[in-house]
Structure formats: C-alpha cells, structure tokens
Chains A and B, each alone.
Chain A
Amino acid sequence: MGRGGATTFQQDLRNSDCIVIMGSNMAECHPVGFQWVMEAKQRGAKVIHIDPRFTRTSAVADVHVPVRAGSDIVFLGAVVNHILANGREFREYVEAYTNASAIIDPGFRDTEDLDGLFSGWDPDRRIYDTATWQYEGLDVLPAAAHAEGAAVGEAHGQGSSLHGGRPPSVDPTLQHPRCVFQLLRRHFARYTPERVEEVCGVPRDMFLEVAEALCANSGRERTSAFCYAVGWTQHSVGVQYIRTAAIIQLLLGNVGRPGGGILALRGHASIQGSTDIPTLYNILPGYLSMPHAGGGAQTLAGYVERTSAPGGFWGHSDSYIVSLLKAWWGPAATAGNDFCFDYLPRITGDHSTYQTALDMADGKVAGFFVIGENPAVGSANGKLHRQALAKLDWLVVRDFCEIETASFWYDAPEIETGELRTQEIATEVFFLPAATHTEKDGSFTNTQRLLQWHHAAVEPEGDCRSDLWFYFHLGRVIRDKLAASPLERDRPVLDLTWDYPTSGPRAEPDAEAVLREINGWGPDGAALSSYTELRADGSTACGCWIYCGCFAQENNQTARRRPGQDQHWVAPEWGWAWPANRRILYNRASADPQGRPWSERKRYVWWDGDQGRWSGFDVPDFKVDMAPDYVPPDGATAEDALRGDEPFVMQADGRGWLFVPNGLVDGPLPVHYEPHESPCANPLYAQQANPARQRPRHRHNPFNPASEGRGEARAFPYVMTTYRLTEHHTAGGMSRTVAYLSELQPEMFCEVSPELAAERQLVHGGWATIVSTRTAIEARVMVTRRVAPLRVGGRIVHQVGLPYHWGQRGLSTGDSANDLFPVALDPNVHIQEVKAATCDIRPGRRPRGPALVALVEDYRRRAGEAPDPGADGGRA
C-alpha cells in the first residue's frame, strides 16, 4: 500500500464490526491496546483469533481457530478465493481504488503454470528477474538494475512503487484474462476450504465461519480489521503473509476506513521508530533507500531518478534526500557538491544482522555495538551468535544490566559444553550501563506511528547514561581526535553538524534540539509544519521527512497529552502521528469516488464542496484542495499526477496494489510455501519452500531435514514455535531481573498437548528436553489442551510451544528457545523464521557438558544432516 506502518490506530479498533487477530497474541503482548478490542466486542463486534495455540487472546475471543504454524497463507488465500468465487468483493471500491484493472505483461507466468515458481526465476543465482511482473507496456528499469537490489535481497520498507507509474493498459470491466483481477482469481482458485483442512488442520466449517464473518462485516455499512505481529513476519515467507491480508482488505474495501485496516503490532517500545529513523543498513530516515556501491546511483541526480516516482508523494524524493543531507551536513552541503551526497556510505552487499553475525563468526568483523538488544538470547540460533561474539576484537554492550550478550565469555552454554573456552576468547567486552526511559528525555514511536514524548523524571544513577549522551559525546570525541586530519575520508565526520546544546553536570544533550532537527527548518530557520514545505534546492533541512511537522510552530507536538475524553474520539492532540498527524492512512478511501462517505455509519473524511476542501475527523491523507473529479493534465508530476479519486498517494498509480509489480523479491502474489523446516510436504506445489528464502550454509547453522520425504526426518517429527508471555519482556533483559515479574513466570516451560505428552511420556510439571540440529534445551512441561494436535494431510501433527524469554542470567533463569532455531530468513526483510521449525521432544532434563554436544551429534547422524565444515557463510 506504500508506507511502512500500520494503516490504522489501536483506538480505532473500537469501530470494527469484526476483528481478526492472526499472527499475534494481542491480549498477552499488547494488553493495554487490547482494551479497544474488548470495547469493540462489548459493542457487538465479532473477535476471531487464529493461532496455533489457545492463548489469553483466544480466551476472550468469540472464535479461536487452531492452525498449523506456517500455513497461514493457505487460510488467508482461501479467504481471497471465497471472496472472489462468491462475488463478495466491495466492487466499487475494488474498481476505483485498487489496481485490479491493470493488465500485466504477456510474459508473466504464475505459480499455476510453473508449479510453484513465477516467471523470471534464475535457479543458479536464486533470484527473480521481475521484468515480466510489470504492467503491460510500462517502461521498466533494465533487469540489471533490479538484480542489483535483488541480489542482496533488498526491499524498500516503503514506496514499493519507486519506479513505474500508471498502468498503460487497463480493463475497467475486470474481464481481460491478464488483468490483475483475473490473475488473482486464477492464482487463488486452488486455495479451497478443503485445502485449508488438509494443510492448516482447520475444519472446513470453522474456516467458512471466519470467511463469512469477514464478508458479512465488510462493505459500505461495516468494516473489519486485521491485527498481526511477528507471528506473521517471522517466517521465510513472512512479508507475503501480510500481503495476503492486504489483498483481503483491499477486496473487501477495508483500507482507509474507520474500523478497518491492518494493524501491525510492534513488539516493543519504538520498534516502529527504529525503522522510521532506521537502525537498518539499507534505508535512510523516512524509508529513503541507501545508495549501492555498484549501481547507477553514484550521483545525486542518478539517485533521485531511481528513487522518485512519476506520480504520488515519492515524486518529491529529491526534496526529501536534499533536506536530509542539509540536516546532516548543514553549510557544507551545497548545490555545487551534490549536497554532500558522496558522504553517504554505499552498500556493498547484505549487511543485515544475521549476515553480520555469520561474517563475525568467520572473523570478518572486528568490532560490534549491541544496544537495546540481546542477540545471545533473542536471535535465532544463539550458538551462532555466541560463537560469533567470541571472534570479535571488541564488543560494546549498552544495557540496564549485564545481559547474556555481555557475559557470554564466561557463562555462555558453550562454556559449559567446552565448545568455547574463556581463556581462548580474545574479545574485549565493554559493558556500559544505560539510563532507562524514565531517566532521560526523548520520544517513542509506537505501534500506530505515534510519537510520544517522555520527560526525565530522575537523574540516572552512577555511570548510567542516556543513548543520546553516549552517541553525542562519542561523536564529539571522535571529531576532536580527527580535527587535524587532512584526509578526505574524514570530511564526512568533520563536516557533520554536531552542535546540539548540552546542559547539567553531565553535559546531557538537548533531546528536543534533536527532535527539532528531525522535524526540519526552512530558509528563515523556523520549524517547518509539513513535508510539503520541503525543497530540493538546499533551502530546507529535515532529518526525516515523514516526521516533518512533529515540531510545528516551534512546539514539541509529540509531548501533547490532552486526555481522550476532552477531545473527539480520534484524539489528534494525543502525541503526534506520522505522517502529518494522520491516524488512519489513505483515509481518502473512506469516501466514495465522488467524495461522499460510503455510509453515514462509517463516515470519516469527505469532500466539502462548499469549502472546496477535504474535511472530517482526521487529517486528510490527500492534497487537501484536490477535488474528487480532478484529472491530471499532461505533464503533471508527483501528487498532481494522481486523480482526485486515487487515494493511495504513495503509489505511483494512486491505487492499492492487489498485485505487486515491483518491490518484492519473492513474487508479485502470495504463495503457500512450507517453512524452511517442516514435517509436511507442500501439497499445493512441487516447490516445497520459498525459493528465494535466505538459508546461509555455515558450520554453526545446520538445518533439520526439510520434509518427511527426505532422509530420516522422523528424527524431528514435531513443529515448534516461539512466543512471548505477558509477564516477561522479549529476551528478558528488562524482566528476568525484576522480582515482581519473575515470580509470575519463574521458569522456562514448554506447552504440549495431552496426546503428545502421552506419545513421549512427558509428565506435567516435570522436565522435557527439546532437540534440533542446533542444540538441545530443557524446559518444565506444561501439558495443556490449549495446544491441540492437528489433523494435517491425513495424519496428526503435534506442535510444541516455546516462550523465548529465558537465558542463564537474572532472577529467573532457563534455557533459551531461540537456540533451537536455524538462521533461515525472509528474503525481503531478512527476518528469521522462528515461528515454525521442526524438533524432537523427550522426557527428562538435558545432558550436561560435552554429553549435550554428543546428544545433538547423535540426532544429526540419525537425521542424515550434518554441519558443513567447508561452508563459509555464503548462501546455498
């Protein structure tokens, strides 16, 4: 749809008529936001929870649907098929607001034709050439340019339409065999209720109840919402899970409307913020792409050409990038030197977190900073990470306490087994205590793109310092040391504007000064109010274009806390949401093409003909004075190139994309692939797993056999999946040290069905050992009917539930579930597949010391899969 954030906000869930929570355990992981689900339920909404386990969310849902982990696209695809086969789509919405009518290149071949592959697959390089996925007749960039990005698995977090434009050929009747609507029908035809029963283990009737609930609660008068979290993303085909939901919501007309949308629930504070102003290697603030070393974007002009779109707000990418460069390099950035565009680093390949860990394990990385993360517990294949940390020259960990990532050199599980020896680890570890959010000023950007300011309540104790203090003074010291450097390579550091005011005995930088720089200022130095004020001539500076306006009128808009009951329900004066304080994105779609609300009940933003502007409860996500009947003249650019009835303003064609011609590396339409490790063969296609998935072969990253058809897969007959509990926080650094939380969930446990317990002689309250080719861990046994055995493809599949909070440190200790999982990644965003893999489970505690390694070796031999000692971290 075009932006890297939830399309709606949690408070709006109260307006939903049906809420589907899937890939999320919202009540446990977002208990505060869940109040609006409960409010919707009390108003009569139907709440549906689809999840492998019956959780605290299921407990208060109207319907719980147990599903096999890793089979969601079959379920969702069958909903798409149900809508299309029964004519349940919101026809006017689909015709007017989606790309259903676009005609696709005649060279396109679907997975229907190629048994699980799309056209363009290069089996040697394991990447797609996306040339045949394009709109027919549209000039596309040369294949090489796509491959440049695709080779390292790039996908833009936002603005998937960086290239392209309006489809030259359309069929408004949606009958053309190559129009998106017909391609969709054909593609999803095999996703039937029978397939759902066979692949997901969900009875047909239960599936139909959900599909009908969605259809019955969508349309002019009603809306349905989807909520998801990492239960969807953490798969080797994770991005396509979300795509399938996007297709459903576009077909049902639920995007841009109150009570509709797709709510991406973020895992903890400011995770949304950490992609907006990224901690990722491949994007710049505001989802601008990072330039590549080998591509054609070596000049600012070349970069702008590649990042701007002929229509929509990406038509101004030159203003966004130039303003960013001005914010960073100030007076040194001039038109004459391309505004210091050369100072930006260039990507040379995949530098995502897992590739970096693999490189580290091979001795290719000298130093490593770990902040707000505990990879020794929180990342897939903990052993790989700990082995990698042991190969560093130096490691800096900033956290509240000495987490497992900082202490690995003396208490990692590998020390006990003898795989690591303290005296042989040369890594110099610097542990730096961090201030908590109550000890520093700053902002969070949370789930619904909402920036909320927090004020320091107390001074941090002892040596604890804020992150802002740390980076500012680190930068200051580095600049001092380089001050006399004559080297050209040091200019990017020396020319930075690094002049934030500081105060107090610790010289704490002023966090609001940073926020103001992010907001940006104009030629007169005054804070800007909107990204529409940004210019490409160097007269404006802005640290993150989508955040422009958060410091409008020289006021910290993110610090607003007007109570909800003192304003209307959208509560625009509670914090500040990007972009431009909009709470529902693409809200132009809440009105019909003529600008009238689809219904009185679902009115939100509409065209006020008398005033000649868009009006409503929210900030219109549209050019405010563009009439519904506006038709762009020849030569119009950016948002002026979109029509007055095209609400998806970030897309070059203004439409919601049912079919994605570019921006994804593993296909323009979602396809069910089995997880990288699965006990089942893919019954839908010959292609077993996502062909484009990343599966780095490395001696520390062995894989379980993929399916029952191969080798001794019965060594790992069960599905395992990870999750969180309300009582703990992610990798435990913020909760296992707190008595009041640790006593509520004091030990690592696993959840198994009574049937699996009987099959493996597991005793409730006793101990179990869970085994994969990576390692074996132990856990207390919770036998519960909340984990149901599923009948899949004529046999019973058991699932083992594993909370992942534990490690060897803190008040509450235990083995780490993530140690069991391989590094197998989604190719678009490099996220790990920890929501579905295979394992064995046996009664009793695990062996200690070298006997643990021997146990795992024995399994590897039996499974027919061995670590590949010759692998160097490259991808198979």
Chain B
Amino acid sequence: MNEHGPRVGFFTDTSVCIGCKACEVACKEWNGVPEDGLDFRATSYDNTGMLGANSWRHVAFVEQARPVPSGDGGGSGVRWLMSSDVCKHCTRAACLDVCPTGALFRSEFGTVVVQADVCNGCGYCVPACPFGVIDQRKDDGRAWKCTFCYDRLGAGLEPACAQACPTDSIQFGPLDELRARAARRVSRLQEQGTAEARLYGHDQGDGVGGAGAFFLLLDDPEVYGLPPDPVVTTRDLAGMWRAAAAAALSLAAGVAAVFAGSRR
C-alpha cells in the first residue's frame, strides 16, 4: 500500500472535545447517512447511543462526580468527558478477514472500506469487529461504517469530520506523524498535572496491531464504552483452521481405519 503514500489516520484528542457533534453531522451530510431515529435516551447529551450502520461518528458524553478539591477553591464536583468515537481502521482488521465477497478492502491510504455495491449482506463482519463498529442497515441488510471519507481522500481532502471539528479534537494526517504528535501531547498534559491522560489504540503491539484511529483519553477506555484490550477476533483463526484440519484428518483416518477393519 505504501506505494500510494503513507498510511493515514485520525488522532482524536478528547481533552479538547467540546461535544458539539459537528463531526456527526458533517459525516452524515457528506456521506448521505440516514437519520438514526429521534430517541431521547436520557444519557447525558448523547442521543446517538452507539456507532452503527446509520451513525459513523458517535460522541460519547460521560458525567462523573468528582470530589471537590479543597484549598484552591476550584472545581464544582463534576467532570464531563466527551469523546468522538469512530471505526478504528485496525492494522489487523477482522472484518476484512472474514468478508467473503471482497466488499471490505484495505485502501491505498491504509484505511478499511466497505464497498456497498459489492456487499451481499452476509453479516459475517458484524460479530467479527472487536469494537462493535460495523453494522447492517435494517432495510437493506448490507454492512455500513466509516469509509474514512475514501472519496475525499482521493480528491486530496481531509475527512468531513476532521474538517468540521472546531477545536481540532479530531486530527487527520499521516499516522506516523499523528503518533508522534499524540505522544508529545500526552506528556505535555501529564506535565501540566493531568496525570490521567493516556493514549488508546496507538500501540502497534496491541491486539489489533494498532488502530488507524486512536485516541487521547482522560479515563479508562471502558468509561467511554471502548474495550480495554481489543483483540482481532480472527487472531486464532489460522490455528483454529489448523486444528480443524487436524481433527478432520484424524476423523478421516479413523473412518478409514474402521472401514479397513470391517473388511476383515
């Protein structure tokens, strides 16, 4: 893929997210994603709920009670975390592995894209995703998710969500640069006293080989609805196939032995 240029990614710095949801709207406007239901969820300001076939960006709102610090007078006993979630565009993408039609493919930008005109709606990719991102649309059965604005990348533009983000919480660029920038940002925040700042999805040694969309979080991943230790669901697939093949061979040998024996 590298003959087309460096792999690109998203670095979402949740410490500057203001929860405006411009990313959600820009994504839907650009990609023509349908409305996802007018449901009042009473989960803080989040009425989207989760990523799905009709929501490719999802801003989580987490209200936390915090002890009021004494002495300096600051703080009001509340912390309100916001984070815009998206498809992780994994280095080792299970959805890609299980897709029987080739509708899912790794693009020349290193992103993972579904081709709607190829998808046959088998749905294998849905349980394969360790993040619960990809989803089938109820009315047509096909699988949909963030395309990383494949059409915009091809035209030299950044994805719609990153373009719309007013505070640069969603940053787009070559993944290597973003990783370096994120490392600087997290250490600066820690120096300034935000000890809880940490990166999520940046580590190429993790269970998905590192995400193309990674995050700076201010709390544990579970708090934001992210799996703490995601593992590509096809990790054991080769071993399983080997085991299955061995079992099949043993079975065949056994059957053969039975028949061989019966001739006697």
Q: Which residues does A use to contact B, with CB under 8 Å?
A: 27-28, 31-32, 34-35, 38, 42, 54, 56-60, 62-66, 203-209, 725-727, 739-747, 749, 764-765, 780-782, 784-786, 788, 811-812
Contact = CB atoms under 8 A, between A and B. Distances in A.
B40 A63 contact: no
Given A743-B37, A745-B45, A31 B22 contact: yes
B139 interface: no
Contacts, number: 124
B101 to A, nearest CB: 30
A822 to B, nearest CB: 29
Nearest to A766: B42
Nearest to A742: B38
Contacts of B35: 739-740, 742-743
Question: What 9 A-B pairs have minimum CB-CB distances, sorted nearest first?
Answer: A205-B73, A765-B42, A746-B38, A739-B35, A59-B80, A206-B73, A209-B73, A747-B40, A31-B20
Given A780-B42, A786-B63, A63 B20 contact: no
B25 A740 contact: yes
A786 B82 CA distance: 14
B59 to A, nearest CB: 9
A38 B167 CA distance: 7
Nearest to B43: A765
A62 B15 CA distance: 12
A785 B167 contact: no
A52 to B, nearest CB: 11
Contact of A63 (B17, B47, B75, B167): B75
6 contacts: A56-B45, A60-B15, A726-B20, A746-B47, A786-B63, A788-B78
A741 B25 contact: yes
B76 interface: yes
Interface residues of B, number: 40
Nearest to B55: A743
A536 B226 CA distance: 70
Contacts of B76: 54, 58, 64-66, 788
B58 to A, nearest CB: 11
Given A60-B16, A739-B35, A749-B40, A205 B72 contact: yes
Nearest to A787: B78
Contacts of B22: 31
B47 to A, nearest CB: 6
B135 interface: no
B24 interface: yes
B261 interface: no
The SS class assigned to the B binding surface is loop
A179 B110 CA distance: 71
A58 B18 CA distance: 10
Given A209-B74, A744-B25, A726 B19 contact: yes
A59 B74 contact: no
Contacts of B7: none
Contacts of B65: 785
A405 B130 CA distance: 50
Contact of B18 (A60, A65, A811, A812): A60
B42 A27 contact: no
Given A58-B76, A727-B21, A786-B80, A35 B168 contact: yes
Contacts of A208: 73
A27 B25 contact: no
Given A63-B75, A206-B74, A744 B21 contact: yes
With a 10 A CB-CB cut-off, give which of A204, A747, A811 has the most chain B CB atoms.
A747
A62 B74 contact: yes
Contacts of A811: 38
Contact of A743 (B47, B75, B77, B80): B47
Contact of A56 (B37, B48, B72, B82): B82
A34 B22 CA distance: 13
Contacts of A781: 42
A438 to B, nearest CB: 13
A34 B18 contact: yes
A54 B29 contact: no
B40 A59 contact: no
Given A59-B80, A744-B24, A746-B38, 11 more contacts: A27-B18, A54-B78, A56-B82, A58-B80, A59-B79, A60-B18, A726-B19, A739-B35, A743-B48, A746-B39, A786-B63
Nearest to B15: A60
A788 B42 CA distance: 18
B137 to A, nearest CB: 16
A785 B63 contact: yes
Nearest to A741: B25
A411 B94 CA distance: 53
A744 B19 contact: no
A786 B42 CA distance: 14
A743 B18 CA distance: 18
Contact of B77 (A28, A746, A785): A785
A591 to B, nearest CB: 33
B106 interface: no
A56 B18 contact: yes
Given A209-B72, A765-B42, A788-B76, A744 B18 contact: no
Contacts of A785: 63, 65, 77-78
Nearest to A59: B80
Contacts of B17: 60
A741 B20 CA distance: 11
Nearest to B81: A59
